Amino acid sequence: MSTEEEQQVSEAQIAVHWREEEFYYPPAKFIGQANASDPAILDRFSEENFPECFKEFADLLSWDHYWHTTLDSSNPPFWKWFVGGKLNASYNCIDRHLEKNRNKSAILWAPEPENEEIKSITYQELYHQVNEFAALLRDFCGLKAGDRVTFHMPMVPELPVSMLACARLGVIHSEVFAGFSGASCGGRIADSGSHVLVTMDSYYRSGELVDHKVKADEAIATAHELGFDIAKVLVWRRYPGKYGSKTPMVEGRDFFVDEVLKDFKGKIVSPVSMPAEAPLFLMYTSGSTGKPKGCQHSTGGYLSYVAGTSKYYQDIHPEDTYWCMADIGWITGHSYIVYGPLALGTTTVIYEGVPTYPDAGRAWRIAERLGVNIFHTAPTTIRMLRKLGPDEPAKHNYHFKHMTTVGEPIEPEVWRWYHDVVGKNEAVIVDTWWQTENGGFLGSTLPGLQPMKPGSCGPGVLGVFPVIMDEDGNEVEAGSGRAGNMCIRNPWPGILQTIYGQPERFVQVYYEKYCKDRNSKDWRDWPYFAGDGAVKAADGYFRILGRVDDVINVAGHRLGTKELESASLTVPEIAEAAAVPVVDELRGRIVEMYVSLKPGFQPSKEISDKVTKAIETEIGKIARPKNVWIVQDMPKTRSGKIMRRVIAGISNFTDAGDLTTLANAEVVEGIRHHVQSEKLAKGDVPRELSPAEIDEIKAFGSAE
């Protein structure tokens, strides 16, 4: 970092002022039935009992062979949990529930078209489907423990069936969110070295039967360009026997799962006993630099962690009907639709489509119809439901005891609507802060024991000790009103093991910044750097401000500026590109692109459309920018770095900050005039920003 960039305001130096919110207390009825209602649990998980306290989570699982060492920290930061133990994740999520709950629903699936029946898959049925698909993966595809398989699957029960079939064999699955493009999927196939792709012909989204198989062909083409070839593509069909895609099947490569499965009817595969340390799955996520990184999660540590947090924070009991409306294509769905709830033997609801399709009452009709009592979603969805149907929940006869919010900061006002209207003043709320890398929640409230505070996630969860650090590694004191970098002082069982294939990048991204001694074998010297800015109130509750590392959180989805920029640069006319976040009332942040053209090209709508298209193709429609601004020259430092904070300020109608470090400050006014007059003409002006949001925009781009 050059001195001129050092003068920029960094997240860790910002003082944040907001109104302290009042506590809300859980209803007595909730406390009476809560899994954690005795405060003794807080002592059991106190720092002096770390790491042994996590035995309690591990004991929620059935081990084939019990472990001998809780935490092996002999090779930091490559932590090993429950060393010596052996278990199978599919056995833990299915087989062990059969004796008592064979014919209880494991999965309730709501298709998007309302005229299609809800599908109930009992634990017994799930057992058979998983065994048959595991037999197919093993005997038809030749897969064995340690191999990787990429999934590009939508929200259908065949996705958890595929995940659990892999887990049964010790095969590592890597699910790519169905909304991502074929090219993104291809990149992940190549990075993970998967020889098999599991996909679906089509699925419903906003009333339309989307052709999905077409993306498989694009994925394979991209993987091929990267030097990697897929041997087999397994295509589940939305309607078995009826192909819902226009793309031809490739002879010898593509197979309909429903046809091949006929040979595996009734097959049983014994669960392969895996070491606790064996990877269970990869989940790719964006960072500030380079390509998405494959977060590698373990079998024993991860499963213990999601079972423990599902039990105490989601308050899941086996008799609950639990609905998490996230997508299984994200970590939230892996941990809190599939692995956590099924490990505890509850009923988990999966909904195929859009929460507001065909109208704002849809989610509440599903909740009423299925008797959902635990509900889990993201602030973007809450904002959307509130905007489209503020009075809808009252019209439906459902009763939640518990609700979760995850993925983005929630505005206190939105929180109160969630609590009063969606929760009908009967439900507790847990605001859960965590990341793809973390496996499970890191900051939240124990719902029966700790009061809620709108807009704050709460303290560190059981056995997790967060700290806010300034740029120099000093602790920022609670109640100081100063923001800093959110870090975790200790390892926990759900943490990623590494970035797949890139151990040095793993160390660098999460540990380099604050490691006190690279040779130390003491975990206390290795705080985990989360990449979020946060403030700690005097009561120990954390308020998360957002990313400090040039990742833009759009509707709870992480988009790396680098990925957006490299996608834009695939357009031949584009010379330079910069992505910036713009505050959006519904989706938290949206993306705007600034591009400059190579000599000889004139700005045109055609070129900006090409940029949008390139982003959709390379990443997916979720990354589509709100605007693409073609500028003559980007504001740059003397060392040639694009000053993203300056253009971010323009897009957000905030102060562009100090311009004295720019080599070409004269371009700023021209850009401001061009962008802001066009936005004003379209009525595209963001609402008034909070001080914390202004600070975020000011600091944007300083992480590089």
- Note the residues at the interface with ligand WTA (CB under 6 A): 285, 330-332, 406-409, 431-436, 457, 531-532, 544, 546-547, 553, 558
Cβ 433 to ligand WTA shortest distance, Å:
4
Give bridge partners of residue 150 from the DSSP assignment. Answer: 174, 197
In the bound state with ligand WTA, the residue whose beta carbon lies nearer, of 287 and 345, is: 287
In the bound state with ligand WTA, the residue whose beta carbon lies nearer, of 557 and 679, is: 557
CB atoms within 10 A of CB 626: 16
Cα angle at 569 between 693 and 620, to 5 degrees? 65
CA distance 365 to 490: 43
CA dihedral angle for residue 87, residue 91, residue 95, residue 99, rounded to 10 degrees: 30
8-state DSSP, 477: P
Query: Helix (H, G, I), strand (E, B), or coil: what is residue 257?
Result: helix
Region label for 478, one of left (φ > 0), alpha (ψ between -120 and 50) or beta (otherwise):
beta
Cβ 285 to ligand WTA shortest distance, Å:
5
Cβ 337 to ligand WTA shortest distance, Å:
12
Name residue 128's amino acid: H
In the bound state with ligand WTA, the residue whose beta carbon lies nearer, of 409 and 423, is: 409
In the bound state with ligand WTA, the residue whose beta carbon lies nearer, of 406 and 647, is: 406
Cβ 557 to ligand WTA shortest distance, Å:
6
Query: Helix (H, G, I), strand (E, B), or coil: what is residue 521?
Result: coil
In the bound state with ligand WTA, the residue whose beta carbon lies nearer, of 352 and 532, is: 532
In the bound state with ligand WTA, the residue whose beta carbon lies nearer, of 309 and 553, is: 553
In the bound state with ligand WTA, the residue whose beta carbon lies nearer, of 77 and 379, is: 379
Query: Helix (H, G, I), strand (E, B), or coil: what is residue 662?
Result: strand
Cβ 103 to ligand WTA shortest distance, Å:
33
In the bound state with ligand WTA, the residue whose beta carbon lies nearer, of 188 and 547, is: 547
Tokens encoding 167: 């887990």
Q: Which is nearest to 423 in space by CA: 444, 447, 406, 402?
A: 402
Positive/negative CA dihedral, 360, 412, 312, 527? positive
8 Å CB contact between 501 and 228: no
Tokens encoding 652: 């957000």
Task: Give, in order, the Cα–Cα distances in Å from 226 to each of 183, 560, 615.
Answer: 11, 21, 19
Cβ 444 to ligand WTA shortest distance, Å:
8
In the bound state with ligand WTA, the residue whose beta carbon lies nearer, of 304 and 445, is: 445
Cβ 454 to ligand WTA shortest distance, Å:
12
Cβ 241 to ligand WTA shortest distance, Å:
36
Cβ 20 to ligand WTA shortest distance, Å:
17
Position with the least CB separation from ligand WTA:
436
Under 8 Å CB-to-CB from 135, ≥6 apart: which residues? 264, 267, 268, 269
In the bound state with ligand WTA, the residue whose beta carbon lies nearer, of 281 and 330, is: 330
In the bound state with ligand WTA, the residue whose beta carbon lies nearer, of 8 and 436, is: 436
In the bound state with ligand WTA, the residue whose beta carbon lies nearer, of 353 and 454, is: 454
Cβ 335 to ligand WTA shortest distance, Å:
8
Query: Helix (H, G, I), strand (E, B), or coil: what is residue 405?
Result: strand
* Residue-by-residue DSSP string for 560-589: EHHHHHHHHTTSTTEEEEEEEEEEETTTEE
Cβ 387 to ligand WTA shortest distance, Å:
20
The separation between CA 280 and the C-alpha centre of its own chain, rounded to angstroms, equals 17
Positive/negative CA dihedral, 634, 636, 642, 645? negative
Cβ 33 to ligand WTA shortest distance, Å:
24
Beta strands in 260-417 (DSSP E): 274-275, 279-285, 293-298, 321-324, 347-351, 374-377, 402-406
If 0-12 CB within 10 Å is exposed, 13-18 middle and 19+ buried, where does residue 644 land? buried
